[in-house]
Amino acid sequence: MNYSNQINNEGFSIINNVYTENEIEKLILLIENATQNDSDNATFRKSQDLFAIRQFHKEVPETLDFIFNENLNEIIESNFGKGYFITKSIYFDKTEKSNWFVAYHQDLTISVNKKIEAANFENWTVKQNQFAVQPPKEILEDNFTIRIHIDKTTKDNGALKVIHNSHSKGILRIENLDFDNEKETICEVEKGGVMIMKPLLFHASNKTTNNERRRVIHIEFSKHELPSGLEWSEKTLLQNN
């Protein structure tokens, strides 16, 4: 299960058949139980177009045993090595009626415990008592994201679009990307598959047009310690690391 060349060269990789139908059904059941019992939680965001759970691995920790199955643990270790930990997770449920889309962007911020002065940490924001900051480029270049697909995801229900190798250009304003000479891919993923991507890869998603749900668990990973006094606010160690 070595996809590291593709991840390093293209900025992403799609791996299907990571989870069995049974594992996906168990994840769905755990998520549904959590949302029914705690709908007033501040980390739960609900609108007509989207339902999201921020800090997902802390809000629904019983999912972790199913998420980090033998296949995913092998994928992480064989492609990235040991020492990585969870830094952020979000569950997205893009509904059948969704007319919500996301324009091309890079994932430039990390979640931290507080705001302090630190060299090359900039563009601070705070949302729902959660501090976010843009760290040095070297941290973003080394991090990775895994998106677990609970539903079959196609061009018709909001699959991500990506620009190949755009992660290698550093932090870039979108208007400085020459779209006429870039390769774009729509990342269709089977139910039970995953997409691995680098944070600096330009990505976007379209509106849903086929009235089918698109549920995704988005997990970000790092192995970097932050400057003294600053901590990853959602840091969770992996059991196999």
Tell me the backbone φ, ψ of residue 20, rounded to 5 degrees: -80, 165
Q: What is the pLDDT of residue 121?
A: 97
Q: Please check whether the domain covering 4-237 is classified as CATH 2.40.10.10.
A: no
Q: What is the pLDDT of residue 165?
A: 96
All residues at 6 or more sequence positions from 98 whose CB lies less than 8 Å from its CB, including other chains? 49, 50, 158, 207, 208, 214
- Got the DSSP string for 127-168? ETTEEEEE--HHHHHH-EEEEEESS-B-TTBT-EEEETTGGG
Q: What is the pLDDT of residue 55?
A: 93
Distance CA 125, CA 80 (A): 29
**What's the pTM value of the predicted model, to 2 decimals?**
0.93
Tens-digit pLDDT profile for the chain (241 aa)? 689 999 999 999 999 999 999 999 999 999 998 887 655 565 565 555 558 899 999 999 999 999 999 999 999 999 999 999 999 999 998 877 766 788 999 999 999 999 999 999 999 999 877 899 999 999 999 999 999 999 999 999 989 999 999 999 999 998 888 888 899 999 999 999 999 999 999 999 988 888 888 999 999 999 999 998 899 999 999 876 5
- The encoded tokens of residue 67 equal 């998420």
- Got the DSSP string for 52-100? EEETHHHHSGGGHHHHS-HHHHHHHHHHH-S--EEEEEEEEEE-TT---
Q: Would you call 198 exposed, middle or buried from its count of C-beta atoms within 10 A (0-12, 13-18, 19+)?
A: buried
